[in-house]
Structure 1
C-alpha cells in the first residue's frame, strides 16, 4: 500500500510554514516534502519534524533567483560555481533534516539557446552533485516538468531524463516521476512506470488538469497506486497539489491508505 508525503509548499497554506508540520501530522501524514527550506535554520525544521513524528522525504536544491523567475541552474552555462555552492548548502541541510533525496532543477532555456551546450553543462553539474551527495547517502533527483506550467524548462520528457541518468552513470542519480507533469506532456503513465521503475527515485501526484486533489480529473489514481505497489516501489508518494479549499477538508481520498502511511 502506498505511503504519502504531504507537500508543505502547496498544502496547508492556511498556516505559516513552520506550523504546517503539525497540521500534516494531525491529519495522519507521517512524512513531508516541500520546495525549499532555506528561509529557515535547519535546526528549526528538524525540531518541527521531531515534535510531530515526521520524516523528511526530500526538498529542492537552491534554484537561483526563484522570486525573479529562475527555475534552477543545473543546465545554465556560466552558473557552475553558483550551482556547486548550492549543492553544498543543500547537503548541509540534509545532514540536519535527515532526508536522503534532493531534487535538482534543470532551469529555463530560451528557444534561441544552444541546447547541446546546456545539456553538456547539465551532465557535468549532475555528475558533480551525485559525487558530492554520495558520501552522505543522498540520491539526486531530476524531474521532467511540463512547459505549460513552466515555459522553457529544459527537461520535459521521461525518456530524456532516464537517458541523462544513464549517461551520467551515477548510482545515486534517479528520476522524479511527477504524474501530473507526465500526463500533461506525454500521457501513457502506466507504460512509462513499468518501463522506467528501476530508474525512478521519487513519485509525485496531483489531479490533472487543475492540479487539485488526486480524486478529481483525468487520471485513475487508485489504479496507478496499485500498479506502483505491484512494481515494487518502496518510497513515498509526494502530494504536490493545490487543495480546492481547505487542505484537511479535501483529504477524503487519503483515508483508505492511512494505515500504511508511515
Structure 2
C-alpha cells in the first residue's frame, strides 16, 4: 500500500486554526449523496468526512473532491447492515477475523484513492455469550494486525467510544479503555476520535475528558446533547469547549456529525459563535 495520491487538496489545518469538516452522512441529507459535496463547498466547508464510501467507486468520489476542492479527512472501516451482528464493525467479534481483515484492506484502498489520512476502526458490539476478556483478546489482535498493515500507508486508525444508549453493547464505551489499547500499539499509528456528543451522552464531563485524553486525540466530532443536533441546541458548554480546543493547540479537523434541527443551511450559524469563542 502506497501513500494516498487521489485528491489534490492541500488545505489542511494549521495549529491555532479552526477548520470544520462536513459529515455528509448527516448533513445536507435533503440532497442526493453526490450533490452534498457541492453543498458543503458552497457552505464554506473545505473538508468532508463520512462513514461509508463503499457504495461508490473511489474514482467517482475522487472526482467530486477535486471538482469542489474538498479534502477527505475521515472514513470508517466497513460495517454490516442495520440489524446484523456487524452493524458497528467487526474488530471485537470472535470468528470474524477474515471479515475484519478484508474490510481493513478495503478501507486502506479507499483511503489511498481519496488521499484520506484517518480511518475510524469500528470496534463492534460484543455478541451474546462473548466474555469481556475474549472480546478484548480478539480486538487487541485485530488492532495490532491493522496497525501493522497501515504502517507504511501514511494512515492513522482512530478509535471512538460510542455511548451505550445509542449503541448498546458497543465494545469501546470508555475513553480510558480505548486509551489502554492505544498505548499498546508500537507503531503509534492508532489514536483517539473524541466525539463530544458521545462523551456527553456517556455522563462524563466532556471538558475534563478532553483535557485528560488530549495527547491521544487525532480527530474531533461535535453534536449537542441531547438530540444530537447542532452545537448550541442542547446543554453542552460550547464556548468553553471552543476555548479548550484552542488552548490545546489542536491541529486536526472538527467533524460536524450532527442531525440538523431543521435544514443544514439554516443551522450553520453556530460556527460563527464557535469561532468567536475559539479566538477569544
Q: Structure 2 unaligned runs (5+)?
A: 1-16
CA RMSD of aligned residues (A): 1.6
Cα distance per residue 1:131-165 (max 9 Å; x no partner): 11121110001110001001111110111110111
What is the number of equivalent residue pairs in this alignment? 259
Q: 2:33 aligns to what?
A: 17
- Aligned with 1:203 (options 195, 214, 220): 220
Q: 2:192 aligns to what?
A: 175
Q: Which runs of 4+ in 1 moved over 4 A?
A: none
1:67–1:24 distance in 2 versus 1, CA, 3 Å: farther
**Are 1:225 and 2:232 counterparts?**
no
Q: 2:125 aligns to what?
A: 108
**Contact kept? 1:123, 1:168, Cα under 8 Å:** no
Q: Structure 1 unaligned runs (5+)?
A: none
**Are 1:84 and 2:84 counterparts?**
no
Give the stretch that moved more between structures: 111-120 or 178-187. Answer: 111-120
The equivalences for 1:42-61 within 5 A come to 42-61=58-77
Q: 2:175 aligns to what?
A: 158
Cα distance in 1, alignment partners of residues 128 and 202 from structure 2? 18
Cα distance in 2, alignment partners of residues 108 and 15 from structure 1? 31
**Are 1:136 and 2:153 counterparts?**
yes
- TM-score with structure 2 length normalisation? 0.89
- TM-score with structure 1 length normalisation? 0.95
Higher helix share: 1
SS of the aligned residue for 1:128 comes to helix
Cα distance in 1, alignment partners of residues 141 and 20 from structure 2? 32
- How far the C-alpha of 1:67 sits from its partner, in A, is 5.9
- How far the C-alpha of 1:181 sits from its partner, in A, is 0.4
**Contact kept? 1:111, 1:152, Cα under 8 Å:** no
